[in-house]
Amino acid sequence: MTAIRKKLEVIPAIDLLGGRIVRLFQGDFDQVTRYTSDPVELAKRYADSGVRRLHVVDLDGAKTGKPTNLPIIESLSALGLEIQAGGGVRNLARLKALFDAGVARGVIGSVAVENRDEVASWMAKVGAGKIIPAVDVRLTEDYEPELLTRGWQAGSGQWLWPLVDYYLARGATEFLCTDIARDGTLQGPNLALYETCATRFPQAEFIASGGVGNLADLQALDRTGIARVVTGKALLDGRLTLEEIERFSRDA
């Protein structure tokens, strides 16, 4: 019997800088859009609308390595949402601090590329399903996805597919995949990239990130076969409504 694929799940994103909600354009700290919404009040609205999971990025942690937004993350977790959070997670102690704040899954970026054996050891200690490798890619002229690190400033010389193979073999189940050229642009996600991810690794659950600008983008992503998508700016700017994303709830 053929398994029935679950529909796409939308995960709202909240990026925190100095305790406030912001969005960066293509990860650039010099291109910041600041929002007046209180992060806990916004997350409560998401929860009340049926959202089950929230994506949180501690941009202060990503920039300085200091987890200054942990108290807010703890307040977000108290709302009953499943929090997946990252930003500057460079050691096991930092990861455990997120878990102590109520985070369900830690999102690991640069270290997952640069020191994969260390991250594999974290998986063995805390549970592979509690870690989401974040794979940020830049497509070459040959359409090969190169992995970027250090705030997307450094090319790693490594490629997406072998990294996914490595972590799948060690029990990983989810991957957050961002095409950095699309991030914060609202110009549509890279559908071909995500369709390739879903087709090449049917045993994995990919979370798309970057470029979502409207409901049509979500409908197109749903047809690629990926499991989930993170969207922040489109919701914050009112290009997507809570009513529109309700249909993508796993309980709908």
Q: Which residues are catalytic?
A: 15, 136
Judge whether 14 and 232 are in contact, CB under 8 Å. Answer: yes
Q: Cα–Cα distance between 83 and 2 in angstroms, integer?
A: 31
Q: Crossing angle for the helix pair 70-77 and 39-48, nearest 10 degrees?
A: 20
Judge whether 34 and 20 are in contact, CB under 8 Å. Answer: yes
132-166 burial, b if ≥16 CB within 10 A, otherwise e?
bbbbbbbbeeeeebebbbebbeeebebebeebbeb
Judge whether 80 and 51 are in contact, CB under 8 Å. Answer: no
**Residue 88: left (phi > 0), alpha (psi -120 to 50), or beta?**
left
Phi, psi of 87 (to 5 degrees): 120, 95
